[in-house]
Amino acid sequence: MKAAIKKKKSARKLGKSGSSKKAGLPPGSLIHIGQVKTHKTYIDIIEYDSQTLDIINDTTLDQASKHLETAKTTWIRIIGLQNTALIGELGKKFNLHPLLLEDILNTGQRPKSVIEDDSIFITLKTLAIDNENTIVADQVSFILRDNLLISFHESELSIFDSIFKRLQVVASRLRTSGPDYLLYALTDIIIDHYFQVIETVATTLDQIEESLFSDPSEQILDRVQHNRKELIFMKKAVFPLREAFAAILKTEHKLINEQHLKYFNDLNDHVMQVYEAIENYRELNTGLRDAYLSELSHRMNKVMQVLTIVSTIFIPLTFIAGIYGMNFEFMPELSFKYGYFIVWFVMLVIAAFMLFMFRKNKWI
C-alpha cells in the first residue's frame, strides 16, 4: 500500500459522468456514456462445435450477420462502444431493441438481466485492482439466443484469455455445450475475479489494523476512507447481480439447458458470498475508523492528563511564589536566615504529596 492514497472524485466513480447527454432525448437514443477505451469499435467472431473452431478477428458487420443461420455455436464479440452508428446497425440486423442498446452503451448501467421469449440479456461489471490499489471496472453485456451469444465490451479484457485456451481443447465441455454454457463460463470468470479483488481489500484492512495499534498515523484515516469508497463501489457492482441471476433461475428459460441450471445456481451462490464479504468488510472498515478515532482521542486525553497534572502541581507552588514575590517592605520571613530553604522545603513537600495522591487514586 502506498503511503499516500491518490484522491479520486467519489461521485464520478459511483455514477458515470455524461448521463446528462441523454436529457431531453427520446427513449432508445444511442448515446455512449463513459470512457473511450479502444481506438475503434471492432467485431470478432468465434464459431465452434465439438470438432471445429473458427476465429475471425476484426471483421465486418455484414460478415457477422452471415453467421446467424449456422448450426454451430457462434460467439460475436463487439469490442469498443464508442461507434454508436455501428452498434445501431448491428441492432437492426440482429433485431435488438433500442432500449437494450441504450443500456449497453451506458457504461454506468446498473447490472441487471432482461428475459425475453427468444433471448436473455445480462449486463455486469468486471472488477480489477490497478497499480494504485484502486478498483477499476469495465462493463460487459451479453445477449443469449439460439446457438448465438453476442457480447459487448468496453475494452479487450485479458481475463477471458483462459476461455480461448479452453476452446482450443477438442471435445471439451465448452466445445460440446451450447452458448448458454459459454455464457456461464464467461460470467463465472468475471465473478471469480471479484474474489481476487475482495481478498486484496481484506489484505489492506489487515495491514491497516496492524498499523493502527503499532504505529498510528494520519495516513490511516485516508486509507480507511479510500477503502470505504472502494467497498461502496463494489457493492454497487455486485448487489444487483443477485436479482439478475435469480430472475434467470426462476424462469427456467428454454435457451438454458436444464443440466446447466446448476451452474447458474452456483454463480448465484458465489455472488451471495461476495456480497456478504463486502458487507462484512464494510463493517470492519467502519470499526477501524472508529478505533482510529478512539485511539486518537485516547492519545489526546493522555496529553491533556499530563498537562492537567503538571498544572495542578504548580498551582499551589505558583501561589506560594506569588506571595513572596509581593513588594511589601515588612515581610518577617525575608529576614529569617533559613526562610529561603524552608519555602523550598514546603513547596517540594506539597508537590510530593500531590504526586502521591495522584498515584494512590490511579490518575497517573
Q: Render pLDDT for 174-209 as a digit per residue (tens, 0 to 9).
A: 988 889 999 999 999 999 999 999 999 999 888 888
- Do 45 and 144 fall within a single domain? yes
Phi first, then psi: give them for residue 135, nearest 5 degrees. -80, 130
Phi first, then psi: give them for residue 218, nearest 5 degrees. -65, -25
Rounded to whole angstroms, the Cα distance separating 63 from 92 reads: 15
Rounded to whole angstroms, the Cα distance separating 119 from 251 reads: 12
147 within 8 A of 72, measured Cβ to Cβ = yes
Q: What residue numbers bound the domain in which 310 lies?
A: 301-360
Nearest CA to 177 out of 269, 115, 233, 255 is that of: 255
Q: Which residues of the chain have pLDDT under 70?
A: 1-24
Phi first, then psi: give them for residue 57, nearest 5 degrees. -95, 145
- Do 56 and 178 fall within a single domain? yes
257 within 8 A of 124, measured Cβ to Cβ = no
Domains of the chain: total:
2
Q: In this predicted structure, what is the pLDDT of residue 139? A: 93
- Do 189 and 227 fall within a single domain? yes
Residue 322 CA from chain centroid, whole number: 64
Q: In this predicted structure, what is the pLDDT of residue 5? A: 45
Cell triple for 101: 442498446
Q: In this predicted structure, what is the pLDDT of residue 6? A: 47
Cell triple for 55: 476465429
Q: In this predicted structure, what is the pLDDT of residue 240? A: 92
- Do 324 and 282 fall within a single domain? no
**Residue 180 CB neighbour total at 10 angstroms:** 23
- Do 91 and 228 fall within a single domain? yes
At residue 130, the 3 state secondary structure works out as: coil
Q: Which amino acid is at 132?
A: E
Q: Among the three residues 295, 318, 344, which one is the final residue of a domain in this structure? A: 295
Nearest CA to 2 out of 208, 196, 230 is that of: 208
Q: Among the three residues 272, 295, 318, which one is the final residue of a domain in this structure? A: 295
Q: In this predicted structure, what is the pLDDT of residue 181? A: 94
Q: In this predicted structure, what is the pLDDT of residue 298? A: 74
